[in-house]
Structure 1
Amino acid sequence: MEECACLCSVGSSQGRRCPQKRQRPAEKAVADGKPALAPAEKHVEADAAAWCCAGSGGVASSMPPPPTPHCLLQDLPVEMLVEIFASLPGTNLPSLAQACTKFHQILHTDSIWRRCCREEYGVRENLQNLEIGMSYREVYAKLFHPYRHILGLWQLDHFDRTLLNVVVDGLCITGWRYGPSLDTHVDDPMHFKPSFRIRLTERKSATVECMEGLNSRPHHGHILIEKDRFTTLCKMTDHQAGSLTWLWGGQRWVLVKEDSLTYRRLYLPPSHPTTSGLFQYNYDAFGLQIAMLSFHGKYARVTRVTGTAKALEIHLMRRIQLRDGEIFRNFNELSRVVQEIDEQVTGERQQQQEDGTEESQDHGWQSPAKPSVGEFGAAAAEEQPVPFVLPVGVRSRLHNYPRTCRMCFYGVDTVTDTFFEFTFTSRLPGVFILFDENHFGFIWLQAEYFFLYRRVQNTFQNVEAPSPQAFLEMLKNIQSML
């Protein structure tokens, strides 16, 4: 007896045997009392049976399935494409315009570029109301796109350093130079004055205007942009006298001709822990200085980013017990504790030199994204504040310092001075005092002097490092200038 090999509703390995005899279609029709099918009808029935069998898990049909309908991007309505293109970064649109003629025409729609200017650069001005005779596409292509790499915070590449904040001001790009006045308080916001601006003229081309000098009237200038640095050029001669108002060389005024100034990119440290960032402090009688606090595993660093060279290294593994703040009331006891820790650190380094296990000079330049950083922030937040008073005999320019603190650590202040062509570096131990997220201090024991650092209240854009390695490389560049 022949058996049916047709698979119904199951796979080939689970087919059921049909107990009926295999009958030809004509024989089955006669047995059922139906007339035999014509040849054409036989093909129709066979095709239907094949599709039914394939759909139920049986033997697949040799006929190809119907084509799947698909839609190309250029087939979408223009209104939908405008919305899609407006949601993309403006830097991707030029290459998209080269895809086809339709995309090229759509990307002339000014609403797309208006959204790019607003979302990427914060432009809120209405060009129609300003009547400047140009489109948002021209503003983006001739101003924002070619000069986007200089937006952010910069440091003057000179031994007398200052900060430059380059921002978008409406339909201009302005470089604001940090210039504190002599009566500026540590709690005041940072003071900036314009150094240059880039704007679109009636010729519809971006023009660089220098705003330095005694008269501060805008005049023609140039900007040369390189990777992580740029240079401003100007031929005016009165800049040399203007430099005396803001450059200080530690022991003497420095006369610098400002017809060519080069700036290096400055990144801010990660916001975790929240105690890191930029801080202001009074270093001398000639105004405020700016320093950066960053954390690196077992160490924290206070790197001076304006003025003369100065670096402070905090050993987070060398904590000083506060004992309810009583240690601050006795300067001799505080000095003794710090001196003991300093001797231990010096002895350990000498032993490492003898054993050949000395840490490299960059032992503190570790990635800021370390677990100990988060642990430090959590520990500082959980610490109960204790009373703080300046030890008797310790001087300070400020007397409105916080009256409670949370943690203290051993630190070393490294000061580099240049006298004529000679450079001197001093290593001076002291006490790093963490008051709260916005204040910390340092007691310079040898000079019996206290410095108070307060967090900068200004906010900055485009200051995030692309990677931890880029941030460390920036710190090393600053270190090389010390």
Structure 2
Amino acid sequence: MEECACLCGVDSSRGCRCHQKRQSPAETSAADGKQAPAGEQVEADAAARCCADFPVEMLVEIFAWLPGTDLPSLAQACTKFHHILHIDSIWRRRCREEFGVHENLQNLEMMGMSHREVYAKLFHPYRHILGLWQLDTEGSRTLLNVAVDGSCITGWAYRPSLNTHARGPVHFKPWFRIRLTERKSAAVECMAGRISRPHNHHMQIQKDRLTIQCKTDHRTDSPRWLRGERGRGGVQEDGQQYDCRTYRRLYLPPRHPDDLIRPGLFQYYQDPFDLKIAMLSFHGKCAQVTDITGDSSGRLEIHLMRRIQLRDGEIFRNFNELSCVVQEIDEQVTREQQQQQQQQQQEDGTEESQGHGWQSPAQPSAGESGAAASEEQPVPFVLPVGVRSIDRNYPRTCRMCFYGVDTVTVSFRGFSYTWRHAGVFILFDEDHFGFIWLEAKYFFLFRRVQDTFQNVEAPSPQAFLEMLKDIQSGPP
């Protein structure tokens, strides 16, 4: 039984849903009641006749290098192209290069499938959900990594409680799976329930939102309401209670040549039983560390132009002196920000300054660049007397220090509370940095997450900034 070469996956004997199946440009225009321009028709017909004379092996090699989304158009050019695009080696390369699939044909044949079917009915329809997602609620923010897993697509959930050590890899557990059934249709299955076998899942895909709904056999205490677009809750439908979770897409920060270190995800302990993940990103003269898991919306802003001189590490041995230096910078920054806000209000009358992080596209000067950071000679580092820390296994040398401000927003029963704390950002190396919260005399150590993630690039710098601002706004 022969299927249509397009991505609709319909048996050609039953009729393809594509209105332009195997039609030339002239036929397509005629079907629409329009006459194709003579130049375009001659050019298309000439191209088809020219390529039709190529050996099949050569055409297979050429087609295998083209994006899979372009191949259905080729199938409409002529009968020869239509038959060639049923050769599975073309789609095997597309699955491997576009989705990293290394499943061999023998394994798929045992399941009664081909690479073309897997591409057309699974990878192509669900390609938009691949990547990182964040569940943001008032109680907890968790991560979801959706990735191709063999001939399936699996959603892996991250919970901080699953990790026991910040230096180890991030531990994920399977949350849902999308696979092709014996009827060769994609099925979404929940894998988080108490029952041993996976059960049906309902999924709604939007531009930057992913809603998953299933029977709440794995939640006995879920409220019978839907919190909202970004929340999690229960839905009562047909006498059955359903668990509904809505995730928003998460992009990793782009990298620039002048960044102090490579941006990305870092783990740190907020308390002995709360291992969290934060995102380090650079924004011109400032850097930001944003919490993306846990129960609060935390943001650490590092002023890269407010560098603190190390003096061979002596400044860490006197906590009072370090506090005086930071307090002096903090007062100066506060005055400058107030002046900027007043000036901004005078210019537009209504809008207030939103902070450095979203404003300046300029990169730090050469003295503060990533190249300068790598050339800095490390100096000894010790925690100042009286400063506490959960993680005592910190690097014993550091390269740079900067003034920073930690802003924490906690939402509780519809109210938001915000605290602002000045401190010292300490750059140890490419994979470690720390922050001394001076008011509480506390030290946090951040370690780079070593896991690699796919499909996490932002389509544009503006899209990343909008996503980051959405995260920092906290839950509704």
Q: TM-score, normalised by structure 1?
A: 0.79
Distance 2:79 2:232 in 1: 58
Q: Deviations over 1:38-88 (max 9, x none)?
A: xxxxxxxxxxxxxxxxxxxxxxxxxxxxxxx99722222222111111111
Write out per-residue CA displacement over residues 317-348 of structure 1, whole angstroms, 9 at most, x where no aligned residue. Answer: 11111111111111111111111111111112
Q: Does 1:292 align with 2:279?
A: yes
Distance 1:374 1:165 in 2: 38
**One-letter amino acid matched to 1:103:** F
Specify the alignment match of 1:95 in structure 2.
73
Decide whether aligned partners of structure 1 residues 157 and 99 sit closer, same or farther in structure 2, where only a CA change above 3 A counts: farther
Q: How far apart, CA to CA, are the structure 1 residues paired with 2:368 and 2:74?
A: 47
Of the structure 1 ranges 98-107 and 326-335, higher mean CA displacement relative to structure 2 is found in 98-107
363-372 or 344-353, which deviates more: 363-372
The one-letter amino acid of 1:317's match is M
Question: Does the alignment pair 1:477 with 2:470?
Answer: yes
Counterpart CA distance in 1 for 2:127 and 2:412 is 40
The amino acid across from 2:215 in the alignment is: K
Matched, 1:306 2:284: no
Could you tell me whether the CA contact under 8 Å between 2:232 and 2:245 is conserved in 1? no
Q: Deviations over 1:398-449 (max 9, x none)?
A: 1110000010111010011223332111111111100000000001111111
**Aligned partners of 1:391 and 1:427: how far apart in 2?**
21
Residue in structure 1 matching 2:50, options 72, 89, 111 = 72
- Give the letter aligned to residue 276 of structure 1: P
Q: 2:60 aligns with which of 54, 63, 82?
A: 82
Partner residue, 1:9: none
Which residue matches 1:142? 121
Say what the alpha-carbon RMSD is for the aligned residues.
Answer: 2.5
> 2:213 & 2:367 partners in 1: Cα distance?
44
CA distance in 2 between partners of 1:175 and 1:259 (Å): 16
Change (3 A) 1:141 1:161: same
Local SS of the residue matching 2:356: coil
The alpha-carbon deviation at position 240 of structure 1 amounts to 4.5
Q: Distance in 2 between the 1:399 and 1:313 partners?
A: 24
Give the match for residue 276 of structure 1.
Answer: 263
Aligned to 2:155: 175
Aligned-partner Cα distance in 2 for 1:137–1:290: 38
**1:377-388 alignment, distance < 5 Å:** 377-388=370-381
Tell me how far apart the structure 1 counterparts of residues 106 and 375 of structure 2 sit (CA, whole Å).
Answer: 55
Structure 1 residues 371 and 424: alpha-carbon distance in aligned structure 2, compared to 1, 3 A threshold: closer
Shift of 1:354: 3.9
Query: Is residue 448 of structure 2 the alignment partner of residue 455 of structure 1?
Result: yes
SS in structure 2 at match of 1:378: helix
What is the aligned counterpart of 1:317 among 299, 305, 318?
A: 305
Structure 2 distance, partners of 1:85, 1:309, is 48
User: Is the 8 Å Cα contact of residues 338 and 431 (structure 1) preserved in structure 2?
Assistant: yes
Deviations 1:146-174 (A, max 9, x none): 00111111111334211111111101100
Q: 1:414 is matched with which residue?
A: 407
Q: How does 1:93-242 map to 2 (within 5 A)?
A: 93-130=71-108, 131-159=110-138, 160-181=140-161, 184-215=164-195, 217-240=197-220
Question: Are the counterparts in 1 of residues 163 and 171 from structure 2 also a CA contact under 8 Å?
Answer: no
Q: Compute the displacement of 1:202 (Å).
A: 0.8
What's the CA shift for 1:242?
9.2
Amino acid at match of 1:171: S
Q: Is this contact kept in 1: 2:232–2:243, CA < 8 A?
A: no
Q: Secondary structure of the equivalent of 1:364?
A: helix
Q: For the pair shown, which has the larger CA radius of gyration, 1 or 2? A: 1
CA distance in 2, matches of 1:129, 1:385: 53
Mapped to 2, the partners of 1:112 and 1:356 lie a distance apart of: 58
CA distance in 2, matches of 1:362, 1:466: 24
Alpha carbons 1:212, 1:242 under 8 Å: kept: no
One-letter amino acid matched to 2:87: T
- Aligned residue among 239, 242, 248 for 1:264: 248
Pairing partner for 1:361 from 332, 343, 354: 354
- Shift of the 373–422 alpha-carbon distance from structure 1 to 2, 3 Å rule, reads farther
What secondary structure sits across from 2:145 in the alignment? strand
Equivalent position of 2:32 in the other structure: none
**TM-aligned CA deviation for residue 277 of structure 1:** 0.9
- What letter is aligned with 2:103? E
Q: Percent identity?
A: 73
1:423 aligns with 2:416: yes
How do 1:434-453 and structure 2 match up within 5 A? 434-453=427-446
Query: Residues 220-263 of structure 1, C-alpha deviation per residue, up to 9 Å, x if partnerless?
Result: 001111112211111234324599xxxxxxxxxx9955811111
CA distance 1:328–1:182, change in 2 (3 Å): farther
Count of residues paired in the alignment: 404
The alignment's TM-score, normalised by the length of structure 2, stands at: 0.80
**Which whole-Å CA distance do the structure 1 matches of 2:367 and 2:452 have between them?**
23
Provide, for residues 373-405 of structure 1, a one-character-per-residue CA deviation record: whole Å limited to 9, x for no partner: 995211111111111001111111011100000
**C-alpha contact (below 8 Å) 1:240/1:256 kept by paired residues:** no
Match of 2:397 in 1: 404
Contact map agreement 1:213 1:241 (CA 8 A) in 2: no
Which sits farther off after the overlay, 267-276 or 190-199?
267-276
What is the aligned partner in structure 2 of residue 33 from structure 1? none
Q: Letter of the 1:332 partner, please give it.
A: N
**Cα offset for 1:306?**
0.7
After superposing on structure 2, the runs of 4+ consecutive aligned residues of structure 1 that deviate more than 6 Å are none
List alignment gaps of at least 5 residues for structure 2. 1-45, 224-230, 235-241, 347-351
